[in-house]
């Protein structure tokens, strides 16, 4: 499957992976969504929102000779940094640090594709360094969102270099009247109620009831005061004095 017959264009997969619900973790999915909205691609190109599908994506990857992946990657660089990785190094980057559940999954998808003898001939990873992922239900942070357009430009330039005729659409495809807000970043963001209305941490009836007392004390274990690691995301609420 890895050899392209000379008279046939290569099978291309443009894939976005990540979890939309985890703020910058949604970069890959939002980027591929935007790609679909803005660009028209020929028949040999499949544009796919892979979400967190993991092993279910093996078949898609096996069928691809040329694979372009959008994802949020922890490169250890300043937030919003866009970095392109090509070829053999790609799986290593996908496995550097497990930013989310799907990443070991995707590294394994590549390993499985390889074991089955169908590894993409060419691989490009367009990754952005996330700023915030610990905001469940949140959207992309501005620095990350600002990288969608540059990421698309990189993908389009790369595909064109490979001879893939990507064209800008005159108009985006018509959206389904019954489609959900999550599939549209603007609605996903605008319909998110503020934290004062829908507390992002817990049940507001409890938070406002006065029964709510912050049980936040550094634990004194082995005589050493320690910082609490697992629920640091509660800090802004504690500092915001929500107890009244």
Distance CA 32, CA 28 (A): 6
Q: For the CA atoms of 85, 143, 77, 84, what is the dihedral angle to 10 degrees?
A: 10
Q: How far is the CB of 215 from another protein (least distance, A)?
A: 5
Give the residue, chosen from 4, 175, 226, 238, that forms a contact with another protein under the rule CB under 8 A. 226
Q: Figure out which of the listed residues 42, 137, 142, 243 binds another protein, where binding follows CB under 8 A.
A: 137
Q: Which of 40, 92, 98, 169 binds another protein (CB under 8 A)?
A: 98
Do 58 and 84 contact (CB within 8 A), yes or no? no
Q: Which residue has the tokens 């910082």?
A: 227
- In angstroms, rounded to a whole number, what is the distance separating the alpha carbons of residues 184 and 192? 12
Q: Does 146 engage in binding with another protein (CB under 8 A)?
A: no
Q: Considering the rule CB under 8 A, would residue 56 count as an interface residue with another protein?
A: yes
Size of the site for another protein (CB under 8 A): 69
Subset of residues 9 to 38 that bind another protein, contact rule: CB under 8 A: 19-21
Residue 120 Cβ vs another protein, minimum distance, rounded to whole Å:
16
Going by the DSSP 8-state scheme, the letter that residue 209 receives in this structure is S
Q: Which two tokens stand for residue 102?
A: 């799907």
Residues that bind another protein (CB under 8 A): 19-21, 48-59, 95, 98, 100-102, 104-105, 108, 111-112, 114-117, 134, 136-137, 176, 178-183, 191-193, 197-207, 209, 211-212, 215, 219, 221-222, 224, 226-231, 233-234
């Amino acid at each position: 499957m890895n050899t392209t017959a000379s008279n046939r264009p290569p099978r291309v997969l443009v894939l976005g992976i990540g979890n939309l619900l985890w703020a910058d973790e949604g970069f890959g999915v939002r980027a591929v969504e935007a790609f679909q909205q803005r660009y028209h691609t020929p028949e040999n190109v499949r544009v796919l929102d892979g979400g967190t599908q993991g092993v279910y994506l093996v078949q898609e990857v096996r069928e691809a000779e040329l694979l372009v992946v959008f994802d949020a990657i922890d490169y250890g660089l300043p937030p919003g940094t866009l970095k392109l990785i090509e070829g053999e190094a790609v799986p290593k980057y996908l496995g550097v640090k497990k930013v989310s559940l799907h990443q070991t999954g995707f590294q394994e998808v590549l390993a499985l594709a390889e074991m089955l003898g169908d590894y993409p001939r060419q691989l490009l990873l367009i990754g952005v360094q996330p700023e915030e992922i610990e905001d469940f239900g949140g959207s992309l942070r501005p620095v990350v969102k600002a990288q969608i357009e540059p990421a698309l430009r990189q993908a389009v330039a790369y595909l064109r270099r490979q001879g893939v005729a990507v064209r800008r659409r005159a108009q985006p495809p018509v959206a389904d009247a019954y489609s959900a807000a999550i599939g549209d970043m603007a609605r996903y963001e605008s319909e998110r109620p503020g934290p004062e209305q829908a507390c992002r941490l817990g049940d507001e009836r409890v938070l406002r009831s006065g029964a709510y007392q912050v049980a936040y004390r550094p634990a004194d274990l082995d005589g050493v005061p320690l910082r609490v690691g697992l629920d640091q995301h509660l800090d802004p609420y504690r500092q915001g004095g929500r107890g009244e």
